[in-house]
Homo-oligomer: A and B are copies of this chain.
Amino acid sequence: MKAYQYRLGGSMKDLSIVERAPPRPGPGQVLVRMRAASLNYRDILVVTGKYPRAQQDSIIPLSDGAGEITELGAGVTGFSVGDRVAALFFQSWTRGEMRDRDSHTALGGSIDGVAAQYCVFSADSTLRIPEHMSFEEGATLPCAALTAWNGVTGPRAVRSGDTVLTLGTGGVSIFALQLAKSAGASVIVTSSSDEKLARARKLGADDAINYVTTPDWHVAVRGLTGGRGVDHVIETAGGGTMERSIASTRRGGFIHVIGLVAPGQFDPVHILLGGVTLRGTEGGSLEMFASMNRAMAQAKIKPVIDRVFAFEALPAALDYLQTGRHFGKIVVTIA
């Protein structure tokens, strides 16, 4: 089969397609013919050797994919050949809270990922994608959508009437917008592009702020909420925006710390004086994945795909991701 491989310490150019023997499903595993994979900013960090958890010399990249089951390992129940499935980002995080050791089972970083024609997954780490989604759409769910769902339904789930602030219009942010809207929230989106803000409004955003033309966007957010502040921030950027994110949030509100895009530092005195909670959020369990799929099926949410590349064009797709020009997810098909 065809699969991508990268070299640790290499660059994006060292990413190449190789021919490998297809894996075989062991007891309790399923063999999946991958049909599509989606990209996350983390993949760039992994491929360029900047991801703190990447531990192997040469593995298959990409964490998020969807395909169909072609073979069941011994003892697998609950699945049939032909089922359309995705697999967990952290393969061992099936239930409950994430453990440290779950962090070492991430596809396409700690272990072989999904940029291949065939993968084996534990049946306990696999689930059906919603019926109303294509393989391309289902491939966007494991990391970006589930992280957004983890934030939106975290220790204090978004409720109808809440206000949610999302930073930027990347994959997690757009899923957060869609999921928060399905939960009855009002959503404020920021971006540097008026065109992207217009697209976000079409997806249901109630308010949109261009952070270039409105650099004090936290003041604008307070104004839009009658001075109250938002209930939740989906913080996909990082330390570079954190002080403004805190200043945008009501006392008692939550900031879901997700992003790595805008590194920077801040003084935690703002956490104290603002009376806010910051929570590191990354992926989710299989149980959370299943509940998200129910929400997406109920609300008929369609993942927003910016652009689809051919399998052979994965390096170009990663280049495009790095430009930040996309809106939503970037997908590669696996023929």
Are B292 and A161 in touch, CB under 8 angstroms? yes
Given contacts A239-B269, A257-B268, A277-B280, is CB(A160)–CB(B183) below 8 Å?
yes
- Which residues of A in the span 249-264 have a Cβ within 8 Å of any Cβ on B? 250-252, 257-260, 263-264
Q: Mark A170-198, 1 if CB is under 8 A from B, else 0.
A: 00000000010011111000000000000
Are A251 and B298 in touch, CB under 8 angstroms? no
Interface centre among A94, A99, A186, A293 (most CB of B within 10 A): A99
B-binding residues in A (CB < 8 A): 27, 52, 94-100, 103, 153, 155, 157-162, 179, 182-186, 235, 238-239, 242, 250-252, 257-260, 263-269, 271-282, 285, 287, 291-299
Q: Which residues of B contact A295 (CB under 8 A)?
A: 159-161, 184
Contact with A161, one of B272, B273, B294 (Cβ below 8 angstroms)? B294
In angstroms, Cα B287 to Cα A99, docked, is 10
What are 5 contact pairs spanning A and B, CB under 8 A?
Answer: A94-B95, A238-B267, A238-B268, A239-B266, A277-B279
Give 9 A-B pairs besides A98-B252, A160-B184, A273-B280 with Cβ atoms closer than 8 angstroms.
Answer: A96-B285, A155-B155, A238-B267, A242-B268, A258-B272, A260-B272, A263-B267, A271-B280, A272-B280
* Shortest distance from the beta carbon of A216 to any chain B beta carbon, whole Å: 18
Contact with A287, one of B96, B160, B242 (Cβ below 8 angstroms)? B96
In angstroms, Cα B255 to Cα A268, docked, is 11
In angstroms, Cα B160 to Cα A299, docked, is 8
Contact with A267, one of B239, B251, B258, B287 (Cβ below 8 angstroms)? B239
Are B263 and A269 in touch, CB under 8 angstroms? yes
Interface centre among A179, A184, A239, A277 (most CB of B within 10 A): A184
By beta carbon, the residue of chain B nearest A265 is B265
In angstroms, Cα B153 to Cα A179, docked, is 17
Contact with A52, one of B100, B268, B273, B275 (Cβ below 8 angstroms)? B273
The 3 closest A-B pairs by CB, nearest first: A161-B295, A96-B96, A95-B96
In angstroms, Cα B267 to Cα A19, docked, is 41
In angstroms, Cα B275 to Cα A98, docked, is 8
In angstroms, Cα B275 to Cα A285, docked, is 14
By beta carbon, the residue of chain B nearest A102 is B251
Contact with A278, one of B27, B273, B277, B287 (Cβ below 8 angstroms)? B277
Q: Which residues of B contact A296 (CB under 8 A)?
A: 161
Are A97 and B252 in touch, CB under 8 angstroms? yes
In angstroms, Cα B269 to Cα A273, docked, is 21
Q: Which residues of B contact A96 (CB under 8 A)?
A: 95-97, 285, 287
Are A280 and B275 in touch, CB under 8 angstroms? yes
Contact with A298, one of B94, B103, B184, B252 (Cβ below 8 angstroms)? B184
Are A160 and B179 in touch, CB under 8 angstroms? yes
Are B269 and A279 in touch, CB under 8 angstroms? no
Q: Which residues of B contact A257 (CB under 8 A)?
A: 268, 271-272
